[in-house]
Structure 1
């Protein structure tokens, strides 16, 4: 029997904070998606020109960060970070070794007898991207709304009104195994799937740079390809370490470290949050060589955005999800909706960097490409701003 996760008493407090933040995220996402009009603001004044899903993969070239000293204080204007398809997506491995029995993140013992028809569902799309990266993408029979990469674009949706699981749509696909976590629901639908006899393996909901390898090996163990999981986990962790080291060198060559803040916004739902320490955004900011201005201001987890918090943090640059920036009408709309941003260096210089919702905080096996793309948008915005422009796909709304 394989146990998917174990508790570490030294990180218990951090896990509780992250779990609480994730629960808030899930609720905010569900509320925001139910009311957001797909693509709202994508073509209005101040639009960032963001690209999503398969369109982004097809349009984006490999990001490049210039060498030598960079004067970040002289940079102005927004940029959109995007990536080409990850090279971590693998060819099909050997046939999964079945049956396999695992103990999932909730302590439930689950026996999986077939990996022929897989559903991998979570609020970030990370589980599905992990299955594809393991070489089992041809066995995936459906997707959630957050699964936005090109290979999965033609799969039928099993979510509705944002991230709500549709029991009928799931049962119609006759899955042989479901991988999910507590970030997506309603939970009654998950329990209903178990009652019908479908093996449901609940994965840890925590997403961070530190858990990338663990999540990969957990997914691989449940699908009967543990050796492939070990290989992919090692490759993913090494790639993230290399990208982080490279961007830290770039950051050291700047005149001053870039103070960054991550905002989650959904205009139609009037949702404005700042992500601080222990939210995952802090790890991303550190990975790209920045300083987390929200954490410095004492913000932990997710907090409703206030003018006081913005002015106190005084970020040089703001990171956002692309659909969020579009939902408020681009940079101009954001500055109008949150006037306090204009009093910060980020607002004064219009330094806003957005990235596709299914990528920026995914912490999946291809996360090194996310770090690289954000690094290019942060340190070389002139090379990427406006380089690609395409309408947003409604399926990627979150």
Structure 2
């Protein structure tokens, strides 16, 4: 599986999208809109329960029953659908056996000794590091969050980002952290050195994201936090959930040729309109949900402007997009009115599937639940 680096892509989208001012509603580069200090998961997602893998899944999928193969040809379905909200990640233990101090060398070559995580922050664009921390049973040690952290358990924590995706060093230091875990997906780039100059231990980890990297990242975070046994538990649960999710998707797609899908990033009614291609992470998602990524098939890499000509050439049968982005462009009709969309198969069938901005490309322990919720919206809307 190819390693995915999404940072440059997302920062490009963020720069083109624009951000709200500090203390007001802010849009993070993955598209999630939030009010500072409140629950940012205001995506309008329905409260429907996904019928995913077994109940013991850490993502909270309920039924434990695998679906029968679809009796209706997915190529014949019409109309839009919205993926169900993904449940919050459950801790593998309420009281992990933590062994500190731990000395780790970060991605930036800096050796860090972690002695105390009782007041920590886990900061990255996707919310992955905080989600892993919660899954390891150390969520109560977190004292702040970014706008990407959409779990209810973190909603009351103060926000330490401004302008959507920029870290506010003063806000971080005001929380008197004993440790900061972060990657490089949020700027400014001098933040780690500024925090270290104030006496705060900072570990910078990899910004790579992808299905094949989730287990590695869980293990890395667990080692740094001194809870390797909890890391093993979370890894085992994630891998079991992922296997169950693959089985679930396979059951839904059995007997049918893959749907031709495209992931489109759209924001507002202006020029922020992109096809996310090979290496963007969207190709991983489409592959694992049983589809054929038309962008990768056409040789498009990373992010490509969604010109009318490009969209028409892809001719997807189904479009995946973010809920916040879809809302911002005028809903389903607004997307259909975009240049080129009307001339595609989707222009005739209106097969547009949207999913919460903070979930659909999160690549954390909840990824199996993302797959099953998205598969339900695609194959049994």
| TM-score band, normalised by shorter chain | 0.7 to 0.9
Assess if the C-alpha contact under 8 Å between 1:297 and 1:309 holds in 2. no
Cα distance in 2, alignment partners of residues 39 and 185 from structure 1: 16
Match of 1:386 in 2: none
Match of 1:91 in 2: 93
Assess if the C-alpha contact under 8 Å between 1:54 and 1:150 holds in 2. no
Say which is worse superposed, 161-170 or 303-312, in terms of deviation.
303-312
Unpaired stretches in structure 1, ≥5 consecutive residues: 1-10, 41-50, 382-398
TM-score by length of 1: 0.83
Match of 1:24 in 2: 9
Larger % of helix: which? 1
Q: CA deviation at 1:270?
A: 3.1
State the superposition RMSD in angstroms.
2.4
Say which is worse superposed, 265-274 or 112-121, in terms of deviation.
265-274
CA deviations 1:137-192 (Å, max 9, x no partner) are: 11110100111111111111000111111111101111111111111111122321
Assess if the C-alpha contact under 8 Å between 1:163 and 1:185 holds in 2. yes
Is 1:249 the counterpart of 2:237? The answer is no
Match of 1:59 in 2: 47
Is 1:233 the counterpart of 2:221? The answer is no
TM-score by length of 2: 0.86
Cα distance in 1, alignment partners of residues 43 and 118 from structure 2: 28
Match of 1:289 in 2: 290
Residue 371 to residue 181, structure 1, CA distance change in 2 (3 Å)? same
Residue 54 to residue 224, structure 1, CA distance change in 2 (3 Å)? farther
Q: CA deviation at 1:86?
A: 4.1
Q: CA deviation at 1:343?
A: 1.2
Residue 282 to residue 170, structure 1, CA distance change in 2 (3 Å)? same
Q: Secondary structure at the match of 1:237?
A: helix
Cα distance in 2, alignment partners of residues 38 and 377 from structure 1: 29
Cα distance in 1, alignment partners of residues 40 and 177 from structure 2: 28
Residue 200 to residue 269, structure 1, CA distance change in 2 (3 Å)? farther
Q: CA deviation at 1:249?
A: 2.9
Match of 1:298 in 2: 299
How many pairs does the alignment contain?
Answer: 354
Unpaired stretches in structure 2, ≥5 consecutive residues: 28-38, 53-65
Q: Secondary structure at the match of 1:179?
A: strand
CA deviations 1:298-336 (Å, max 9, x no partner) are: 111112222222111111111111111111111111122
Match of 2:72 in 1: 70
Residue 87 to residue 189, structure 1, CA distance change in 2 (3 Å)? closer
Match of 1:344 in 2: 344
Higher relative contact order (CA 8 A, sep 6+): 1
Cα distance in 2, alignment partners of residues 360 and 253 from structure 1: 26
Cα distance in 2, alignment partners of residues 30 and 157 from structure 1: 20
From 19, 34, 40, the counterpart of 1:34: 19
Q: Secondary structure at the match of 2:340?
A: helix
Residue 33 to residue 136, structure 1, CA distance change in 2 (3 Å)? farther
